[in-house]
Amino acid sequence: MLLQGKTIVVTGGNSGIGEQICLAAAAEGANIVIDYVAHPEATDALIKKIEDAGGKAVGVDADITKAADLQTMVQTAVDTFGRLDVLVNNAGMEDRKSLLEETEEGYDRLMAVNMKSAFFATQHAAKQFIAQGDGGLVLNISSVHEDWPMPGNIAYCVSKGGMRMLARTGGVELGAHGIRIVNIAPGAVDTPINTATTTDPEKLKQLDAAIPLGRLAKPEEIADVVVFLASGKAGYMTATTVTIDGGITQGSVGL
């Protein structure tokens, strides 16, 4: 098993990409800490699914927009499984507003969920990694929009651009401690965040046509990349981004 004995925290872990990361990592032997802020029943169901398959998992109700809750999240991993090996900053949101439409309240909320949470979760995880003394890994579920404009969704793009520099600057700062930070940048993925597109046949047809591989990614395909990066088989990678987008950023203008 690729992740035997490793403890992995996944923010926003009870749905979408996060859920598939939890399942894939558990199947490879990892101990899973599932962070969530809503739908505890979904977390309970996911834990049962993991445990029924022979894995280990625990849920933690932590508001990722609050640094103190993020510390609790990290401590839950340590208290339950003895250590932390990998943090996956997966939780995110978008609000599909342009520069002229965005509100202060909307901007602050989006940046807290997408950027502030990743920043302070990384900080708390890094301190734990340093205390353990044998390095660690932070994986950020970013987006192709950390580098690729998406008109009409500007705050989301700004938050992912910030995550890009979190990986690059943080990776440089923490390299001496054996701590790595790698971003994973999906393109269009078939998750609830894209429901408005996937439930509209015309919009879905337009999006599929813009992707060289002709379809959205499955959440499981993103999870597979997480497992690979967490396995140690990419141990020389840090301060960079792995793009998994079906070629969309090479094959079309921004959508």
Is residue 107 among the annotated active site residues? Answer: no
Residue where the block lists tokens 């995550």: 163
For residue 255, being part of any structural domain is answered with no
Q: Can you give the residue range of the structural domain that contains 143?
A: 7-247
Strand, helix or coil for residue 183: strand
What pLDDT, on the 0 to 100 scale, is given for residue 183? 99
What pLDDT, on the 0 to 100 scale, is given for residue 46? 98
- The active-site residue out of 36, 107, 156, 236 is 156
For residue 252, being part of any structural domain is answered with no
For residue 2, being part of any structural domain is answered with no
Mean pLDDT, 10 residues at a time, over the chain (255 residues)? 98 97 98 97 98 98 98 98 98 96 98 98 98 98 96 98 98 98 97 85 92 96 98 97 95 57
- Residue 130 CA to residue 136 CA, distance in Å, equals 8
Q: What is the CATH number of the domain that holds 217?
A: 3.40.50.720
Q: Count the domains in the chain.
A: 1
What pLDDT, on the 0 to 100 scale, is given for residue 148? 94
- Pairing relation of β-strands 31-36 and 56-61? parallel
For residue 89, being part of any structural domain is answered with yes
Considering only CA atoms, give the Rg of the chain.
17
What pLDDT, on the 0 to 100 scale, is given for residue 252? 55
**Which pTM does this prediction carry?**
0.96
For residue 224, being part of any structural domain is answered with yes
What pLDDT, on the 0 to 100 scale, is given for residue 251? 76
